[in-house]
């Protein structure tokens, strides 16, 4: 029987390029043997390549030294990649694309749109779901429509800012201080800051605008963060809820991937009632945002209430990542997760 040919797509023109390399290495190390796997990378400059080297060189960002120019064909007749090899140009057909890419140009519907044009199944939420989920403003708009509780919020576009003083007064009167400032389209906590006064507000806004021209400002919720891994399409599997025990005020990039002072508890130290709330709202968010195959949905817990935080359509797949850890707790190995999302995408 012919093996299913899976194209792993990694890298990307994104601030989360490095995270993608680590996630991809973990996926490749745990790939089910029944799949025929090929790897394609996108450089930080946005150039496409077919990669045939080692997983170690990929993870250490030495992969371009062993790569050949290539591009994903948008013509469904090709159903794959055009490779510009040393002995001429050829087409490599694939059955499914698994984009192990995070952030803009990978998780925002861009790659998903190309796969849709090419007529190739793509693992993870599709074009519309990915683009909505990447933009925190539109995620909040949709989830509010479905009555999902969340912190008070407002969006700020860079070209609308006349001066920070008047904006700060508006934020203080509308959302209160402290508050959270974050880019509307970014991940891995890049550009996220807790604002305590006017000076930190200016710093936080300037930092967030480095990553996006639109910023989300949110009411600060006193409590702690929990997450829920969701797997499936028609039928949904919910992983064990996890909890972030904070050692810093912001669960930033260093904490997410190195856990310098923070700890992840799986299962979360929450009551049965809180866990049921998390599961219920996770399902609502997943359906409302038209997710498929996989997503991680994060919440805040404050007292006996749960507040939606954000949605990750291609969550981290590193050894320290939360998504595989939550599913492992209910019996899914890393390899079984990969097999499941690929099989669901093809079906």
Q: What pairs with residue 232 in β-bridges? A: 236, 293
CA distance 168 to 82: 51
Residues 285 and 231 in one domain: yes
CA distance 114 to 343: 20
CATH number at residue 63: 3.40.50.20
Residues 139 and 287 in one domain: yes
Residues 107 and 160 in one domain: no
Residues 116 and 158 in one domain: no
Residues 104 and 11 in one domain: yes
Residue 293 is part of which domain span? 132-149+223-346
94-107: pLDDT as tens digits: 999 999 999 888 99
Which of 131, 136, 124, 127 lies closest to 104, judged by CA?
131
Q: Taking a C-beta distance cutoff of 8 angstroms, is the pair 322, 296 a contact? A: yes
CA distance 113 to 43: 19
Residues 38 and 173 in one domain: no
CA distance 29 to 207: 36
pLDDT at 104: 86
- Given a cut of 70, the residues of the chain with pLDDT beneath it are 187-188, 248-261
Last residue of a domain, one of 172, 198, 219: 219
Question: Is residue 164 a part of any domain in this protein?
Answer: yes
Q: Is 328 exposed, middle or buried, given 0-12, 13-18 or 19+ CB atoms closer than 10 A?
A: middle
Helix (H) or strand (E) holding 88: strand 88-93
């Amino acid at each position: 029987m012919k093996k299913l040919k899976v194209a792993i797509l990694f890298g990307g023109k994104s601030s989360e390029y490095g995270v993608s390399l680590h996630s991809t290495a973990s996926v490749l190390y745990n790939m089910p043997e029944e799949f025929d796997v090929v790897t394609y990378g996108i450089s930080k400059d946005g150039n496409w390549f077919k990669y045939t080297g080692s997983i170690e060189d990929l993870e250490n960002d030495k992969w371009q030294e062993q790569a050949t120019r290539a591009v994903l064909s948008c013509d469904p007749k090709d159903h794959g990649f055009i490779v510009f090899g040393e002995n001429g140009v050829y087409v490599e057909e694939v059955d499914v694309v698994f984009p192990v890419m995070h952030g803009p140009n990978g998780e925002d519907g861009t790659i998903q749109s190309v796969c849709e044009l090419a007529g190739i199944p793509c693992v993870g939420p599709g074009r519309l779901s990915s683009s909505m989920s990447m933009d925190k403003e539109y995620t909040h708009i949709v989830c509010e429509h479905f009555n999902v509780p969340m912190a008070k919020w407002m969006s700020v576009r860079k070209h609308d800012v006349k001066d920070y003083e008047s904006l700060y007064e508006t934020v203080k009167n509308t959302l209160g201080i402290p508050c959270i400032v974050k880019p509307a389209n970014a991940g891995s906590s890049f550009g996220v800051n807790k604002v305590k006064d006017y000076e930190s507000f200016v710093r936080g806004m300037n930092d967030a605008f480095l990553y996006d021209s639109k910023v989300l400002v949110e009411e600060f919720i006193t409590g702690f963060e929990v997450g829920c891994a969701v797997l499936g399409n028609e039928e949904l599997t919910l992983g064990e809820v996890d909890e972030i025990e904070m050692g810093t005020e912001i669960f930033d990039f260093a904490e997410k991937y190195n856990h310098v002072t923070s700890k992840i508890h799986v299962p979360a130290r929450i009551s049965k009632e809180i866990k049921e709330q998390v599961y219920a709202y996770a399902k609502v968010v997943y359906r409302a945002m038209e997710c498929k195959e996989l997503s991680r949905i994060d919440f805040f817990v404050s007292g006996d209430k749960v507040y939606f935080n954000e949605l990750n359509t291609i969550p981290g797949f590193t050894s320290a990542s939360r998504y595989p850890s939550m599913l492992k707790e209910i019996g899914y190995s890393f390899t079984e997760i990969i097999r499941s999302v690929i099989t669901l995408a093809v079906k």
